[in-house]
Structure 1
Amino acid sequence: MKAELPTCGDYVTATFSRDFVAEGCDHDSVERIHRGDVDEWIRALAQSGLFTDRTVAHAWQHKPHSLLEALLSDADEVTVKRYEVAWQALDRAARFGYAALADEYA
């Protein structure tokens, strides 16, 4: 039987997910991920030696939501819902301009 290699998402989940959700919904992190500011996550994975910067950056550039999904893999249903609501608010704000974001979180 051939063992499957861990994916970037598997490694993110194993390494970061508990800390990511420990303090509750982190709107700043969700906003950074949403706009593609994922350098800190890329550096952390590159330091692991399992993935190259380019591999991780390419995956998250095309689907930044996949990073959020990996970070929330072990989270409870309510926590996942809170983050998804925040992500959806950022999607709406991106469509209508980020000025509307302030109203969402007020």
Structure 2
Amino acid sequence: MKAEPLTCGDYVTATFARDFVAEGFDYDTVERIHSGDLDEWTFALAQSGLFTNRVVAHARQAWQDDPRSLLDSLLADADEMTVKRYDVVWQALTRTAQFGTSGVAAEYA
């Protein structure tokens, strides 16, 4: 029986999801992820010592291609209300980016 390879999301969920959810809602983090500021997460994955440079590079590329995948991985073990709260903020940030307005997403924080 062949096991499916782990995805970048699996790595992040296993490494960071529990702490991410336990720390409570963090608007600044979701805003940084949405904007593509991935350095914090790339560094944390690399510094964990659990992953090769290749896996870290693959994770970063996957997040650059789809930043929402990082947030989804961090929320994999979150309760439904926490996921919904982050989703509302993500949608507001997307609208803000699309329409070039400022301050729209802050009302959801």
TM-score (norm 2): 0.84
TM-score (norm 1): 0.86
Unaligned runs of 5+ in 1: none
Aligned residues: 106
| Amino acid in structure 1 at the alignment position of 2:36 | G
Deviation per CA, 1:5-37, whole angstroms, max 9, x where unpaired? 322111111111111111322100000000000
* Corresponding position of 2:10: 10
Structure 1 residues 5 and 51, CA, compared in 2 at 3 Å: closer, same or farther? farther
Deviation of 1:45 (Å): 2.1
CA distance in 1 between counterparts of 2:53 and 2:69 reads 16
* Corresponding position of 1:89: 92
The counterpart of 2:71, out of the listed 57, 61, 68, is 68
Conservation of the 8 A alpha-carbon contact between 2:12 and 2:74 = yes
Across the aligned residues of Structure 1 and Structure 2, the Cα RMSD in angstroms comes to 1.9
2:58 equivalent to 1:55: yes
Percent identity reads 64
CA distance in 2 between counterparts of 1:20 and 1:34 reads 16
